[in-house]
Structure 1
Amino acid sequence: MNIPTEMAGHPKVSPPPSRGREQGYMRKKVIEQSVLFISVLKWLFLASCIGILVGLSTTVFLSALEGAIGFASGYKYYFLLLPAAFILSTALIKYLAPEAKGHGTEKVIEAIHKRSGKINPLVVPIKLVATVITIASGGSAGKEGPCAQIGAGISSFFADLFRFDDRDRKKLVICGISAGFSTVFGTPIAGAIFGVEVLFVGGLLYEVLLPSFVAGIVGYQVSSAMGVTYFSEPLYFIPNFTSVYFIRVCLSGVFFGICSLLLIETLHLIEWFAKKIAWHELKKAFWGGAVLVILALVFSPRYLGLGLDTIKTSLEGGDVPAGAFLLKMLFTSITLGFGGSGGIVTPIFFVGTTAGNAFGSIFGLSRDIFAAIGMVSLLAGAANTGIVQKGR
């Protein structure tokens, strides 16, 4: 007697799929993989184009800035031009490209989230000129935000020129931001991650991560080939890691977190105060510059401009005033709140290194080590970019 397979306890075996179904499935997979491959090639090409354009543009900006700083620093009281510089910077931005106002990064983030990355093309030349005027005359600001804004503006113009849709424009602009950060930092991988990470608090847009890497690397190679040199300070120390040392690092993290909060709140407070003053913007710019001149004469011109010499001294464990980080917060907040144009990352480095130097001095620890820890901690805390600090 023949017993059915199911009744005998054996599972029912499905018949093999037909040859036609197998071919259809394979054809579908080949099409999917081909589309994916073409998409990858497309974005590698577009990211390379953006990297070249942004690399060339930021090279022009960085070269102009270096030349202007070199010329101005030949005069002892160059910073007396701050009121006039702030008036000129404010007028350029107010009447020609209002989107260029601020330290750059926040306007780019706003454009990404609210306008799919659409940016006024005039932002690029206006931001470039206004930032050079501000920093060369002694304004306490950085060059990273403007480079990101320049990269975003060029990418947006590129997207409009070739009629990309909103989704692709947004991706291109993110690539431009990453290329801008990479060319100004001189760190293509960390700069690219920073450009993606700074747009989203605690997150990354992974679909554009590879194009951002490519744009960042290409932009860095272009700027390096064009003769751009980068600030670097080798660190020649290896800390003896013990449980006590770990506790000290944790305590310093709390201190640097407080410094990050204090920097952010100082920026917001001065900005709020500037808005509350019922004066014309050009008048506010004049008095903002005048206040900086007075502060520089009372304290020291070391808190003006980029402050790279003080950053270098701090990282070498040299002597830096204990309150240097507090004064830099004030100088930077006045600069950005009263008409100056520039970024915030270099001032963050200044605040971080000098705060770390002060922490080491107060507690009898290695000032160079904690200056380095302070630099990355302040950037992570003030810019909401914790991941990129592990890659620097």
Structure 2
Amino acid sequence: MPSSWAAAVQEGRAYLGFLGRWLLLAALVGGLAGTASAGFLVALDWVTHWREAHPWMLGLLPLGGLVVGGLYHYLGQSVARGNNLLLDELHAPRTRVPLRMAPLVLVGTLLTHLVGGSAGREGTAVQLGGALADQLARPLRLRPRDRRLLLVCGLSAGFASVFGTPLAGAVFGLEVLLVGLLRYEALVPSLLAAVLADYVTRLWGVGHTPYPHLPAPALTPATLAWALLAGLLFGLVARSFSMLTHGVGRLFGRVAYPPLRPVLGGALVALAVAALGTTAYIGLGIPTIVASFQAPQPPYAFALKLGLTALTLGCGFKGGEVTPLFFIGATLGSALSGVVPLPVALLAGMGFVAVLAGAANTPLACTLMGLELFGAEAGAYLGLACVAAYLFSGHSGIYAAQIIGQAKHPRYARQQGRRLEEVSGEKRKK
């Protein structure tokens, strides 16, 4: 056998062994993350319906804040950074992610939604997936490199299973670590874990919110310009959300006793909801998101959700940012249909994924999410909006531990290799 053929056979065996090994590991991660997401989604649906049936629960927001704040102050200081802790471990591994992250974020998120906070679910699912995946590293005696791949699998599996978007989940795990770069060494494990986690969640009989298939007009120079302009606006709003949420966090950080922070924040949220006279802007806000595809929403809807979510999460309640970002983007896009000559459903879908793309710095994952949720016909518009939002959100984001792998503009190349929290800290000092 020629040496070239022998080398090819040996290489093929190595790839086959790699695929088989990670298929088994991904099945473990996918099973754990998919089952955890299924249970979480069922519980979240239950507490949401309970709160809607008992409006008086809003009066318990300060008490709920005290419970959540107390749990993390006395039991969860080591995991209080949440998603940023997972990113820290991927950038500079130090120790195993504490298993307590999973039950604490689960209880904290459910309490937040039960009493009427404005929050999402992605952060919870990602932390569940990451914490559970990391527990496998020691008994399986994985090397440091493989442990990092396993953590990426956990992130991808959690994201994919909670939204029903395996392709987006797989790329999210590769893209969220470094702004502007992808971690291709985790591509196979990440995709396997995302697909299997989504399958396990569905196997439990847990479904996801259906969204309409989006038809799109033919792409012309005019519609291209409008899509980019809309993406620019989505990016600026994403940047505003990130800056406001971090700013609220710094403001409440001045309160000396941490459990009091969500007490005060909860009281402010409750007063704001009472003044508005509607509960449309708390919780996940799924009914309003769905309505955004059907008719233009009020131009102030996105701002109200943005403010209430920044206050809820910034003061110390638990939950994710992604579903509120869907709400913000969908309602903003829907409202823009009054001035932008594109279909209201298309603009809502563009905002849905683009605001997240700008806030999380994950334009590829969000474009894939749009394709999975809304169909391929609108793919060009979704991609344009996501890329423009990513660019105009600048070096900011909801994940402060993200490292800038590739600057978004050559002028800011000196910021490469630095965390977003460091860059934003410099701007505040200036």
Matched, 1:158 2:136: yes
Cα distance 1:41–1:294, how it changes in 2: closer, same or farther (>3 A)?
same
TM-score (norm 2): 0.81
What is the deviation of 1:97?
2.0
What is the deviation of 1:356?
0.9
What is the deviation of 1:337?
1.4
Cα distance 1:390–1:286, how it changes in 2: closer, same or farther (>3 A)?
closer
Matched, 1:111 2:89: yes
- C-alpha distance in structure 2 between counterparts of 1:145 and 1:90, whole Å: 17
Q: SS of 1:46's equivalent?
A: helix
Q: Which moved more, 1:123-132 or 1:74-83?
A: 74-83
**Which of 1 and 2 has greater Rg?**
1
Q: Which amino acid aligns with 1:63?
A: V
Indicate conservation of the 8 Å contact 1:182/1:219, yes or no: yes
Indicate conservation of the 8 Å contact 1:351/1:378, yes or no: yes
Counterpart position of 1:256: 234
Deviations 1:312-351 (CA, angstroms, capped at 9, x unpaired): 1112224x22111112111111111112001111111111
Instruction: For 1:222-301, list aligned pairs within 5 A.
Output: 222-275=200-253, 277-299=254-276, 300-301=278-279
Q: Which amino acid aligns with 1:90?
A: G
Indicate conservation of the 8 Å contact 1:117/1:169, yes or no: no
Work out which of the residue numbers 375, 380, 383 in structure 1 matches 2:360.
Answer: 383
What is the deviation of 1:67?
1.4
Q: Which amino acid aligns with 1:210?
A: V
Counterpart position of 2:60: 81
Q: Which moved more, 1:168-177 or 1:197-206?
A: 197-206
Matched, 1:44 2:23: yes
Deviations 1:98-150 (CA, angstroms, capped at 9, x unpaired): 24435x43222122112267300111111111111112221111101110111
- C-alpha distance in structure 2 between counterparts of 1:362 and 1:78, whole Å: 39
What is the deviation of 1:162?
2.1
Counterpart position of 1:149: 127
- C-alpha distance in structure 2 between counterparts of 1:98 and 1:32, whole Å: 46
Counterpart position of 1:356: 333
Deviations 1:233-254 (CA, angstroms, capped at 9, x unpaired): 1135332433222222121122
Counterpart position of 2:35: 56
Work out which of the residue numbers 306, 326, 351 in structure 1 matches 2:303.
Answer: 326
Counterpart position of 1:196: 174
Counterpart position of 2:372: none
Indicate conservation of the 8 Å contact 1:116/1:170, yes or no: no
- C-alpha distance in structure 2 between counterparts of 1:149 and 1:58, whole Å: 10
- C-alpha distance in structure 2 between counterparts of 1:29 and 1:239, whole Å: 48
Indicate conservation of the 8 Å contact 1:116/1:169, yes or no: no
Indicate conservation of the 8 Å contact 2:69/2:260, yes or no: no
Indicate conservation of the 8 Å contact 2:249/2:316, yes or no: no
Indicate conservation of the 8 Å contact 2:34/2:198, yes or no: yes
What is the deviation of 1:386?
0.9
What is the deviation of 1:40?
2.1
- C-alpha distance in structure 1 between counterparts of 2:345 and 2:359, whole Å: 21
Q: SS of 1:317's equivalent?
A: coil
List alignment gaps of at least 5 residues for structure 2. Answer: 370-430
Counterpart position of 1:11: none
- C-alpha distance in structure 2 between counterparts of 1:311 and 1:64, whole Å: 21
Counterpart position of 1:206: 184
Q: Which amino acid aligns with 1:291?
A: L
What is the deviation of 1:358?
2.0
Q: Which amino acid aligns with 2:168?
A: A
What is the deviation of 1:199?
1.6
- C-alpha distance in structure 1 between counterparts of 2:182 and 2:67, whole Å: 37
Q: Which moved more, 1:306-315 or 1:241-250?
A: 241-250
- C-alpha distance in structure 2 between counterparts of 1:241 and 1:355, whole Å: 22
Work out which of the residue numbers 323, 340, 351 in structure 1 matches 2:317.
Answer: 340
- C-alpha distance in structure 1 between counterparts of 2:365 and 2:218, whole Å: 24
Q: Which amino acid aligns with 2:250?
A: W
Q: SS of 2:245's equivalent?
A: helix
What is the deviation of 1:30?
4.3
Q: Which amino acid aligns with 2:234?
A: F
- C-alpha distance in structure 1 between counterparts of 2:220 and 2:11, whole Å: 53
Same amino acid, percent of matched pairs = 33
Indicate conservation of the 8 Å contact 2:255/2:261, yes or no: no
- C-alpha distance in structure 1 between counterparts of 2:26 and 2:68, whole Å: 32
Q: Which moved more, 1:65-74 or 1:30-39?
A: 30-39
Q: Which moved more, 1:139-148 or 1:72-81?
A: 72-81
Deviations 1:169-209 (CA, angstroms, capped at 9, x unpaired): 11111111111111001011111111221122112111211
TM-score (norm 1): 0.88
